[in-house]
Structure 1
Amino acid sequence: MSATFHDLKDASVFITGGGNGIGAALTEGFLAQGAKVAFVGRSDASAFVAAMDKAYGSRPLFIQCDITDTAALQAAMEQAVGAHGPFAALVNNAANDMRYDAMEITPEVWDDSQAVNFKAYFFACQKAAELMADKGSIINFSSITYMMGAAGMVPYVSANAGITGMTRALAREWGPKGIRVNAIAPGWVFTEKQETMWATPEAKAAFLEKQCLKEFIQPEDMVGGTLFLASDASAMMTGQVMVIDAGVVHAG
Structure 2
Amino acid sequence: MIDPTAAPDATYASYPSLADRTVLVTGGADGIGAAAVEQFARQGSRVAFVDINTTKAAETIERCADAATPHVPVFYEVDLVDIPALQEAVARARAELGGITVLVNNAANDERHTWDEMTPEYWDDRINVNLRHYFFAIQAVAPGMIADEHGSIVNIGSSSYMMQEDF
TM-score after normalising by structure 2: 0.83
SS in structure 1 opposite 2:162?
A: coil
How far apart are the structure 2 equivalents of 1:41 and 1:109? 21
Tell me the CA shift for residue 151 of structure 1: 6.5
Out of 78, 84, 102, the residue aligned to residue 89 of structure 1 is 102
Cα RMSD for the two superposed structures: 1.9
Q: Offset at 1:117?
A: 1.1
Q: What secondary structure does 2:80 align onto?
A: coil
> What residue identity is the alignment partner of 1:71?
P
| Structure 1 residue 40, shift from structure 2 partner | 0.3
- Amino acid paired to 1:82: A
Unpaired stretches in structure 1, ≥5 consecutive residues: 153-197, 199-252
TM-superposed CA distance for 1:103, in Å, is: 1.3
| The one of 138, 142, 150 aligned to 2:153 | 138
Q: What is the 5 A alignment of 1:133-212?
A: 133-143=148-158, 145=159, 150=162, 152=164
Q: Residue 129 of structure 1 is aligned with which of 142, 150, 153?
A: 142
Partner of 1:68, secondary structure, is: coil
Match in the other structure for 2:64: 52
Structure 2 alignment gaps of length 5 or more: 1-10
**2:38 touches 2:60 (CA, 8 Å); kept in 1?**
no
Q: Specify the alignment match of 2:113 in structure 1.
A: 100
Aligned to 2:28: 18
Runs of 4+ aligned structure 1 residues displaced above 6 Å come to: none
**CA deviation after TM superposition for structure 1 residue 150, in Å:** 3.0
Seq. identity, %: 41
- Alignment partners' CA distance in 1, 2:97 and 2:140: 16
Match of 1:2 among 8, 12, 27: 12
What SS does the aligned partner of 1:83 have?
helix
Q: Structure 2: how far apart are the matches of 1:114 and 1:55?
A: 36
